[in-house]
Amino acid sequence: MYISGVKSMPVCTVVALFGGMILALHSGVQFIKYGQQDFVPVLMINIMNKEMGSFLTAIIITAFSGAAMAAELGTMKVSEEIDALEMMSINPVSYLVMPRVVSMLLMLPALSVYTIVLGVSGGAIVSYFQLGITTEAYYRMVFESIWIKDIYVGLLKSVVFALIISSISCANGLKAGGGALGVGQATRVSVVSSYLMVLIVGYIITALFYGGFV
């Protein structure tokens, strides 16, 4: 939980804050041409809630915690520590995998909320200094544009992403073989597979809830 949460926070802070600032700047430059810069707060909260909050966090956690899980379990596998656990009648899944899955399920949604708050705050900074939108007006429009559906879809994505990342990382770690080279390969495969699955599943959830199915 410490690796999945606390140690990931500095990276999440930088990515969320500056990601929000970049998004607000690019959208604001386009909106201001038509005198519609007041739509920037609406855009920010919608994008961060529906997509970017959970997606950015999942990408960071995959690189930070998913890779660590695969490498740690892979090292234990090639050094026969997992075989030793099985000889002592200790189930490696319940002893090693489940705590990592649970910690990911707890921390990724929490970090997603943190990322959303910081991303929207980054948009507020750009809106105030470069788009002429006061902080009070910005946050008023943000709160007026929050929909309950967007919140639970974003949280659902973060929970599903947590399951995907932890499951893929642990599975590849437990399948590692061939010494240090095998550990490296397992780590690489887990990161790439997690990225691809996060993208695919993220689209499916978006299509289900915003494509007229739900």
pLDDT at 213: 60
Report DSSP state, residue 94. I
Q: What are phi and psi of 205, to 5 degrees?
A: -65, -45
Convert the pLDDT of each residue in 15-43 to its tens digit.
Answer: 999 999 999 999 998 888 888 888 899 99
pLDDT at 9: 85
Convert the pLDDT of each residue in 113-155 to its tens digit.
Answer: 999 999 999 999 999 998 888 999 999 999 998 999 999 999 9
pLDDT at 4: 60
pLDDT band at 10 (very low <50, low <70, confident <90, very high): confident
